Every structure is written in C-alpha cells, then in structure tokens.
Amino acid sequence: MEKKRLAVLVLGIGMGCACAQTNVTIYGQVDTGIIKQTGSDTEMGNNENSLIGFKGAEALSSETQAVFRLEQRFNGSDGTKYSDNNALDKLQGSDGAEWQGAAYVGLANNTLGTVKLGRVDNLAIENYSAVDPFSYFSVGIAGSGVNLLYSEQMPNTLRYDSPEMGGFSVSASYTVGNDTHEKGYYHSYGNDGFSAGVKYTNGGLWLTANYDRLADSDKSWLWNAGLGYTYEGLTLTAGYQGTLVKRAAADVLEIDDNAIRQKDWIVGLVYDTGPHTFKFSYNRGDLSSKGDYNGNMNRYALGYVYSLSKRTSLYGIASYTDSENNAVGSVYNTNGALCDSVTGVQFGINHKF
C-alpha cells in the first residue's frame, strides 16, 4: 500500500512539473449595446469587439519561450462571426477569413526579442491607436481608424519585436505577397509588404512613429506619428497619419477613383477618476484625388464609461461628423452612409473575462 501511495505521489509531482512548463490563458470579452446614427435604423452593435482568445507560452530554456495566440471575434448581439474591414484580407483575396483576430506562433527570448509568424497584429495600428481615446472603436472612432488601408491584423506575416532598451523598443514585419493578380493599369498588384515602428516610453510620456507598405496593394503605404502624456488620471494625446492608396489597390478595394491621398489629425483627452472615465476627441480628415473623393471632415466625440467592477462597465458615446460632401462622408462615416453630416449615439455594456 505504501509503495502504491509513493508511486501516485511521484506521478503527481511529475505531471505537475510537466504542466508547469506550459502556461495557457483563456481570455475575452462580450460587448453589446444600442447604436443610432443618421442614415441608419436603430441597431444593436458593439463598442469593442466581442471575442474569445487563447494565448500561451512554453518554457524552452531559462531565456526562451515558445508562444502562441488564437483569437476569434464575433458579434455579441447575434453570435455571428465578426467580419472586419481589413484591407489586406481583401487585397489578398481572403476577405471574411475565419480568424478575424490574431493567429500566430513564435519564439520569445528575453535578450534577443520576439519573432511571430502567421496572422499578427499590425504594429502601425497597435502602436498608434493609443492616440484615440476610443481605441479605434465606436461611433467616436478616429479618422485613422476608418483608413482606406486599415488592416488591424496582417496575414502571411513575420513580425519581430525588440526588448525595451532605455525606454525604446523597435518592431518590424514582412508580409509575403500573393502575387496572383493580373497586371492592372501601370503596375502589378502583387508586391510584398513590410512595416517598421519605434516606440518610446518614460513615465507618463510615450512617443511612436510607424511606416507600413501593404502587401498586394501596388505598393500603397501609410505612416503615422503620435504622442501621449498622462498625469494624475488625465491623458492628452495627439497624432497625424498620412496615406497613399494607389489606383490598382483602390480598384481591388472597390473604391471608384484614381489614386487617393488621405490625411488625418487627432487630439484626444481621457480623464480617469476611479469608476468614472470621461473621453473627448477632435478629428480632422482630408481626402484628395482626381475623382470624387476630395474634401475635409471634422469629427467631435464625447464618451463616458462607468466601471461597475474591474471586469464590467457601462458606456455612453456621442459623436458628430461634418464632411465637405457625401463622397468624403462615405469614407469617414462609421455606418458608411452617403451623408455629409452624421450624428451618432451609442450606449451599452462590456464584460471582460
């Protein structure tokens, strides 16, 4: 009997050691509310994406880990798969991909940094979206959040992130182009893509600058630079983003126009007082082309979040978007309405787990 107990104890210790080498976390959130905007009926929708994800790491040595992440997004109002406005998916012919979040595997080293392969987060969005108090969500979304080349996740991509060194960190990615499109207009659609970014943090201050040339886009690109400062619950942010969508890419993205330049400015404010968080942003956008997409946009947004607990919160958001003409409005209006002015109101509940 004692031998059996000893064997069970040894087996249990051995299993415990094996399990300790792998750490898997299940995470996610459910977000649903009511949205009413000019030009659209009242509908149920979300502020942030509802999602469920799995991430983990396996210790390969004292310095190195194997890492992975799988994240699926869905519409909390009806349970259907979320279909993001991901330009790179469209350009590579995979619009409506099953995994709308990240899906990658990689290696992380404490000294050398992290390498990820698969469907990774776009560093030009990951670094820069912090300038928007609404984090690229809701009716108050920044103009750069509805960018014509907006691609939150990058499929077929290898990404590198350095360790932080004196407050600085650098990142770079390379996307394999499909190169399956026929030649259109003056150039081939099928270029490879790459991006690079740098970020600096020091106390309440952060700065970032990023460049992204999208794959399979006839070498269309965007760049941005932003900053933020936090002091005693008050955060101020500002940023600029410039974009060039070339004619061949515009055709694939079903934008009936020639090459389009898009410029976006933002200033934002967040005031956090414990359970109460107040948000404000002002956005200025500018489109220029040889076709209809010419003119300016101004968006004003106000938001309020009340935290019922660390995981559950209520929110309310209101915005007003004033565009120079309907064509400009169709790009910047979050509901895609052909209107030169749109008022949006949104409220709902968010629960994280």
Tens of pLDDT, residues 248-267: 888 888 887 778 999 999 99
For residues 154 and 212, give the distance between their C-alpha atoms in angstroms, rounded to a whole number.
Answer: 11
Position 100 pLDDT exceeds 60: yes
Q: Kindly write down the DSSP assignment for every residue of 53-120, as one continuous string.
A: EEEEEEESSSSEEEEEEEEEEE-TTT-PBP----HHHHHTT-TT-S--S-EEEEEEETTTEEEEEEEE
What are the boundaries of each domain within the chain?
23-352
What's the pLDDT score for residue 180? 56
Antiparallel, parallel or unpaired: β 22-37 and 341-352: antiparallel
Token pair listed for 345: 């109101």
Write the pLDDT tens digit of every residue in 312-334.
999 999 999 999 999 999 999 99
Interacting residues of 184 by C-beta distance below 8 A, sequence separation 6+: 218, 248, 251
179 closest CA partner among 170, 189, 165: 189
SS3 260: strand
Per-residue model confidence as pLDDT tens digits over 141-193: 999 999 999 999 999 999 999 999 999 999 999 999 986 555 554 445 689 99
Is residue 209 within a helix (H) or strand (E), and if so which, with residue range? strand 205-213
- pTM exceeds 0.85 for this model: yes
Is-contact 339 297, C-beta < 8 A?
A: no
| Residue with tokens 């107990």, as numbered in its chain | 5
Side chain identity at residue 217, one-letter code? S
Burial class of 55 by CB neighbour count within 10 A (0 to 12, 13 to 18, 19+)? middle
Percent share of the chain, pLDDT over 90: 76
**What integer pLDDT is reported at residue 7 of this predicted model?**
42
- For residue 74, pLDDT over 60 is answered with yes
Q: Residue type for 328, please? A: V
Give the model confidence (pLDDT) of 189-229 as tens digits. 689 999 999 999 999 999 999 999 999 999 999 999 999 99
Give the CATH fold of the 23-352 domain.
Porin (2.40.160)
Percent of the chain residues topping a pLDDT of 70? 90
Predicted local distance difference test score (pLDDT) of residue 182 = 56
Tell me the per-residue pLDDT of 267-311, one tens digit each, with 9 for 90 and over: 999 999 999 999 999 999 999 998 889 999 999 999 999 999 999
Q: Report the DSSP pairing between strands 341-352 and 64-74.
A: unpaired
Q: CA 144, CA 140: separation in Å to the nearest integer? A: 12
Position 99 pLDDT exceeds 90: no
Give 82's pLDDT tier (boundaries 50, 70, 90). Answer: confident
